[in-house]
Amino acid sequence: MGAGRLIGRVALVTGGAQGIGLACARRFAQEGARVVLADLAGDKGPAAAAALVADGFDARFEACDVTRRDDFEAVLDRCDAGLGGVDILLNNAGIALQADILTATEVLYDQVMDVNLKAAFFATQAVARRLIAANRPGVILNMSSVNAVMNIPHLIAYNLSKGGLNQLTKNAAIALAPHNIRVCGIGPGTIMTDLARNAVMSNPDALNGILSRTPLGRAGEPEEIAAIAVFLASDDASYVTGETVYADGGRLGLNYTVPVR
């Protein structure tokens, strides 16, 4: 259990059915928030929400494709009606499809940008408009990546989307500051989730490559990202806005390799 830092708040987490998003939702709930997991239709979202409820938390699942604005607005309508509105939005849904500058198709480019950047843009707009109309403060968090500022050539669309997300964080933070809405980002390095396992952890060479670029000598855990999310979402971070906090085991400062332990 936490210190009750989010009591009275409603937190909506996109891509909240598993991985980093679910870990963040659990930490929000431990701090007293009522949480909404918004994710694609299927079994895992309802099961994740049910597991939170079984642990005594206030949680629900909303089936939602974040690339469909009508889907997302309908989720917000239900949150307004059933929970009194959303105070905290975590734009976390993300995909990492592989292609480089020579091989990327327009379809792949659009798929990645639609989920990772465009959906976050319009979700931010939608939640901010409702907060302002209700004259309520709020917090919007964007799940970025070290790949917002570093590059993996065969993840070009992912790199672009996360770079854009960092600019969304800064721009929206300034625009929404007069409305008492903070906007912050989180930039994970390599975190042990399905996305990471599929994208980079599936072969030993890739794993050694990652670890040789990680001074702390290990991948991170979703809970280590959730700890940052709950800080940024809470009033402990009341003077932080426009900032992206990196949790990468030291990777961003490194211009060399370190021994693989």
Query: How far, in Å, CA of 178 to CA of 51, rounded?
Result: 38
C-alpha 233/C-alpha 198 separation (Å) is 29
Q: With binding defined as CB under 6 A, does residue 19 bind ligand NAD?
A: yes
Integer Cα distance of 142 and 202 in angstroms: 26
* Nearest residue to 86 (alpha-carbon basis) of 25, 168, 43: 25
Interface positions, 51-70, toward ligand NAD (CB under 6 A): 64-67
- Classify residue 49 as left (phi > 0), alpha (psi -120 to 50) or beta: alpha
Nearer to ligand NAD, 69 or 170 (CB): 69
Name the residue nearer to ligand NAD (CB basis): 17 or 141: 17
Q: Based on the shown chain and the rule CB under 6 A, indicate whether residue 188 belongs to the binding site for ligand NAD.
A: yes
Nearest in space to 152 (alpha carbons), one of 106, 217, 101: 101
Are 67 and 115 contacting, i.e. CB atoms less than 8 angstroms apart?
yes
Candidates 30, 92, 166, 214: give the one binding ligand NAD (CB under 6 A): 92
Residues 107-126 that bind ligand NAD (CB under 6 A): 115
Nearest distance, CB of residue 163 and ligand NAD, angstroms: 12
Residue 100 near residue 153, CB atoms below 8 Å: yes
Tokens, residue 222: 């979703």
Site string for ligand NAD, 132-161 (x = CB under 6 A): -----------x-x----------------
CA dist 89 → 92, 99, 120, 142 (Å): 9, 30, 10, 8
Number of residues that bind ligand NAD (CB under 6 A): 27
Instruction: Tell whether residue 194 is a contact of ligand NAD (CB under 6 A).
Output: yes
Choose which of 33, 86, 196, 232 interacts with ligand NAD (CB under 6 A).
196
Pick the piece of the chain touching ligand NAD (CB under 6 A) from 5-13, 193-201, 202-210, 229-237: 193-201
Q: Give the one residue of 30, 98, 193, 214 binding ligand NAD; rule: CB under 6 A.
A: 193
C-alpha–C-alpha distance, residues 63 and 217, integer Å: 37
For position 249 contacting ligand NAD by CB under 6 A, the verdict is no
| Known catalytic residue at 109 | no
Active-site residue set: 158
Q: What residues line the site for ligand NAD (CB under 6 A)?
A: 14-15, 17-21, 39-40, 64-67, 92-95, 115, 143, 145, 188, 190-191, 193-196
